[in-house]
Amino acid sequence: MNDMRIVERKVDTNEVKIAAKDVQVYYGDNHAIKDVSVEIEDKTVTAFIGPSGCGKSTFLRCINRMNDTIDICRVTGDIMIDGEDIYDAKVDPVQLRAKVGMVFQKPNPFPKSIYDNVAYGPKIHGLAKNKADLDNIVENALRRGAIWDEVKDRLHAPGTGLSGGQQQRLCIARAIATAPEVLLMDEPCSALDPIATAQVEELIDELRKSYSVVIVTHSMQQAARVSQKTAFFHLGHLVEYGETTTIFTNPVDPRTESYITGRIG
Amino acid sequence: MHDKHIASAFDRDLEAIQAQIMKMGGLVENAILEAAISLETRDEERAEAVRKSDKAIDALEELINEEAARVIALRAPTAIDLRVVLSVIKVSANLERIGDYAKNLAKRTGVLSQMEPVNGSAGTLRRMAKEVEGMLKDALDAYVARDAELAQDVIDRDIQVDQMYNALFREFLTFMMEDPTNITACMHLHFIAKNIERMGDHVTSIAEQVVYLVTGAIPDEARAKGDKTSLPS
């Protein structure tokens, strides 16, 4: 009987990759994240869901210190990746962001060739010893980004000339070219059509074999489809965090249930 | 939790579907009672009416299933909403089966009215049918009120129906052994008793759906089983 059950939801590991403890984020006087503690697992897709302004993107941006770029933003509490505090003074945010890749809502390829878009990160981080090595990294990243077959004959054409879905997969390839350990995705499919969305979702499932993927999405169905763990944020609080199946069939907190059934926005 | 969906049409869909379940439940309750009365009073016209009313029950089941499929396709329900839709599909199937059993009771009225009454069984059959009808009423009330406790009470009461069936089963055996000319009537009466007992099982299943709807978990199979007629004596 067991082999007839739905198994793709299974989490392969329960090693903690990212551990956040008592995280508070302030934008000036605005207390945007209130006391969030969460342990995100390795080789797992974790979805952050919640209404607009609930803090899910803010929290996501704490994980690779993107909030550093906002002057009035203040982050307290601990965020550890593999047991190391990423807000420690010794940590170089640029190195951190090579390890923690990010993909944004709108595809944002550099105004360069497809090849250079992907090669840029490995080059500045000195990951390639020579041209052949770099070619290899680019090809691998594009393959893993599930876009190689579509672009292999026009690697030197501008990245901006691709379709929206292709641009987004190019951005994912760019993010994984630096061999990150964590991939953050902030609504990666909201500007894509259903086919491109399905391709990106398929890719996310593929990527979780090697990375810890954290995805912010407004589409509850997408969260249900791609993630193994789901965290529900509301008004800056982490309300409920657990197995995606449980969150979508029998959540514990009435606020979670109200949100996922479409009763509060 | 909030009562209302932001998309109010979703609320209307779910309410409509549940109103149909209630309508179906009302028809089935009535069919049980009418079938029992027609048996007892040997009223063939009444029995004919029960048989005819089953068509409406079947049509409602079909309608409910179509609506449930539509809600799943269009609204992708989750959590409590998903449980409502799933329970609606199962409850309508249970009600449809109960309706069939009631119809079968009515059908046998015609045959039985040609025969001598079998001593005392009519009263027990009436009590059984009355009990099942009462359980169904409570199960449907529990469904509307989302009352898991009342549903559990219904589940626990099924044993009484089972015990009445056991008693009848033994009685019929005795009658048949005493006088083989009783066999035809007793076989029919036994089927009637068995059908009512099965109705009780379907009512229990509806009550289990209520527990699932409210708690998200199916109650475990710990309930006492009263039908022991299949065991060697």
- Report yes or no for ipTM above 0.85: no
Contact B154, B138 (CB under 8 A): yes
- Identify the pLDDT of residue A214: 97
pLDDT digits (tens, 9 = 90+) for A194-241: 888 898 899 898 888 888 999 999 999 999 999 999 999 999 999 999
Interchain CB distance below 8 Å, B82 and A251: no
Q: What pTM, to 2 d.p., does this model score?
A: 0.80
Token digits of residue B151? 């549903």
* Among candidates B5, B76, B82 on the partner chain, residue whose Cβ is nearest the Cβ of A263: B5
- Identify the pLDDT of residue A1: 46
Q: Taking CB atoms and an 8 Å cutoff, what residues of chain B touch A265?
A: 6
* Among candidates A224, A248, A258 on the partner chain, residue whose Cβ is nearest the Cβ of B2: A258
Q: Which domain holds residue A124?
A: 2-260
Q: Taking CB atoms and an 8 Å cutoff, what residues of chain A touch B216?
A: 249-250
What is the percent of chain A with per-residue pLDDT over 70, rounded to a whole number?
95
The CATH number assigned to the domain holding A90 equals 3.40.50.300
Residues ≥6 apart with Cβ < 8 Å to A130: none
pLDDT digits (tens, 9 = 90+) for A118-175: 999 999 989 889 999 999 999 999 998 889 999 999 999 999 999 988 999 999 999 9
pLDDT digits (tens, 9 = 90+) for A42-78: 999 999 999 998 999 999 999 999 988 899 999 999 9
Residue A221 located in a structural domain: yes
- Identify the pLDDT of residue A3: 56
Interchain CB distance below 8 Å, A263 and B4: yes
Averaged pLDDT for residues A244-263: 92
Q: Cα–Cα distances in Å, from A28 out to A32, A70, A73, B48, B69? A: 10, 10, 6, 78, 49
Find, in chain B, the residue whose alpha carbon is nearest to that of A265: B6
- Identify the pLDDT of residue B9: 87
Q: Chain A window 196-225: which residues touch B at a Cβ cutoff of 8 Å?
A: 220-221, 224
Q: At what angle do helices A114-124 and A164-177 cross, to 10 degrees?
A: 20
Tokens 């420690």 map to which residue? A88
- Identify the pLDDT of residue B7: 86
B7 contacts chain A (CB < 8 A): yes
Instruction: Indicate the number of domains in chain A.
Output: 1
pLDDT digits (tens, 9 = 90+) for A7-16: 555 566 678 9
Find, in chain A, the residue whose alpha carbon is nearest to that of B9: A262
Interchain CB distance below 8 Å, B4 and A257: no
pLDDT at residue A181 greater than cutoff 80: yes
Contact B70, B16 (CB under 8 A): no
A249 contacts chain B (CB < 8 A): yes
Q: Cα–Cα distances in Å, from B233 out to A57, B165, B167, B168, B170? A: 69, 16, 14, 15, 11
Q: Which class in CATH covers the domain with range B8-215?
A: mainly alpha
Interchain CB distance below 8 Å, B6 and A261: no
Q: Cα–Cα distances in Å, from A5 out to A8, B39, B217? A: 9, 47, 18
Residue A265 located in a structural domain: no
- Identify the pLDDT of residue B233: 61
Q: What is the 3-state secondary structure (H, E, C) of chain B?
A: CCCCCCCHHHHHHHHHHHHHHHHHHHHHHHHHHHHHHHHHHCCHHHHHHHHHHHHHHHHHHHHHHHHHHHHHHHHCCCHHHHHHHHHHHHHHHHHHHHHHHHHHHHHHHHHHCCCCCCCCHHHHHHHHHHHHHHHHHHHHHHHHHCCHHHHHHHHHHHHHHHHHHHHHHHHHHHHHHHCHHHHHHHHHHHHHHHHHHHHHHHHHHHHHHHHHHHHCCCCCCCCCCCCCCCCCC
Find, in chain B, the residue whose alpha carbon is nearest to that of A246: B79
Residue A208 located in a structural domain: yes
CA distance A215 to B122: 67
Q: What is the pLDDT along chain B (233 residues), one digit of tens a residue?
A: 788 888 888 999 999 999 999 999 999 999 999 999 998 888 999 999 999 999 999 999 999 999 999 999 998 899 999 999 999 999 999 999 999 999 999 999 878 877 777 777 878 888 999 999 999 999 999 999 999 999 999 999 999 999 999 999 999 999 999 999 889 889 999 999 999 999 999 999 999 999 999 998 888 766 667 777 777 76
